[in-house]
Amino acid sequence: MHLSRDTRLDAGTTRGNGSRLARAPASLLITLLMLSLLTPTNPLWVEAACADLPTLLSDHAHCELKAAQSALSLLARYAGEFPCLVAPLGALAKEETEHFTMVHAQLTARGLGMGLPASDGYVTRLAAAARADHHADRSPLMDKILVAALIEARSCERFQLLSEHLPDAELRKFYADLMTSEARHFTLFSSLSAECFGRAETRARLATLATREAEIVEHPPFGPQVHG
């Protein structure tokens, strides 16, 4: 997994979070650093996810749908002002829809149905944290893009955990393949923010939001949802 240096936090911004990162297994530490994440997922989440595959897969399917809808929503609101969003976010919406189909196929192969969507407290709290310290001179689009980047980053980290710990070998490979896509989506959103608002501004705001994200992700309960 390779990410552009410009889309990662400067090393200095992670020094205050060394104790959090020190808890990460060696195999996960590089992923966390490359994705601007400041704390690893609690192992209790891995246990919950592995113990309830029907809920995990159903929630994952809904996450892919929400990601496609989010990309289209950004286009509907901002494509006129930022035409550079059209091609990459249009392609992203298509890819996320394809991922939904793939996850749904995993459900079907196991004789499982797709349940109703559950509220995503992690995403709700992260968006609220971004709004809480928003400044009038900062475009709301920057925060929307960088929140999306961090959601993709956390999904990537959790897919890596699933690829290492799920008892089902087929699903381990499935999540290992998807992990690469999530990392690429993190890069896409980070790069779009840099293109629209500048690299320095993007790095600074991403550092702030990454700190908020680390605080949110450490709070239980840890359920079998992708962002549980």
Residue spans per domain, the chain:
13-217
Distance CA 175, CA 167 (A): 12
pTM (whole model) above 0.75: yes
Query: What was the pLDDT predicted at 67?
Result: 98
At residue 8 the predicted structure's pLDDT band, cuts being 50, 70 and 90, is very low
Q: Cα dihedral angle (148, 4, 161, 67), rounded to 10 degrees? A: 20
Phi, psi of 81 (to 5 degrees): -80, -30
Chain centre to alpha carbon of residue 110: 26
Residues 181, 94 contacting (CB under 8 angstroms): no
Kindly state the percentage of the chain with pLDDT values over 70: 91
Which one, of 128, 141, 131, 129, lies nearest residue 201 by Cα?
Answer: 141
Helices (H), the chain: 18-21, 26-34, 43-51, 53-78, 86-109, 121-132, 140-165, 169-197, 199-217
For the domain made up of 13-217, the CATH class stated in words is: mainly alpha
